[in-house]
Amino acid sequence: MKTLIVQIKCKLGEAYDVAAFVVDNVAQCQIYSISGAYDLLAIVNLEDDVDPGVFVNKRLHSVPGIAETNTMIAFNAFTPSGKV
C-alpha cells in the first residue's frame, strides 16, 4: 500500500465540487478543506501495483476544477514504542 498526501488548489468557488467528485469518482480517500495556499488535502491509499505518477497525472489532474496539486509520498507510519 502506498500513501499519497495531495494538496489541491481549486479554481475559485469549486473546492466543494472538486472534493465531492474526487471522493465519488476518483479514489477512496480522506479529503479535507484546509486553510493556506491550497484548498483541499487528500490522503489517498494506493495499491502497490498502482503507479502514483500515473494516478496523479491521469486520474487526479483530469478532475474538473483542479488548478494545481502538490503531492507527497508517505514512507513510514510511526507509532509510540513505549520508550521514553
53 vs 28, which has greater pLDDT?
53
State yes or no: pLDDT of 82 exceeds 70: no
User: What is the per-residue pLDDT across 37-74, written as a single tens digit (0 to 9) for each?
Assistant: 999 999 999 999 999 999 999 999 999 999 999 999 99
Fold of 2-74: Alpha-Beta Plaits (3.30.70)
From first CA to last CA, the distance across the chain in angstroms is 30
- Write down the mean pLDDT value for the chain: 93
**Rounded CA gap, 65 and 74, in Å?**
25
Q: State the pLDDT at residue 83.
A: 65
Rg from Cα positions in the chain: 14
| C-alpha cell at position 1 | 500500500
Q: How many Å separate Cα 84 from the centre of its chain?
A: 34
β-bridge mates for residue 45, sequence order: 3
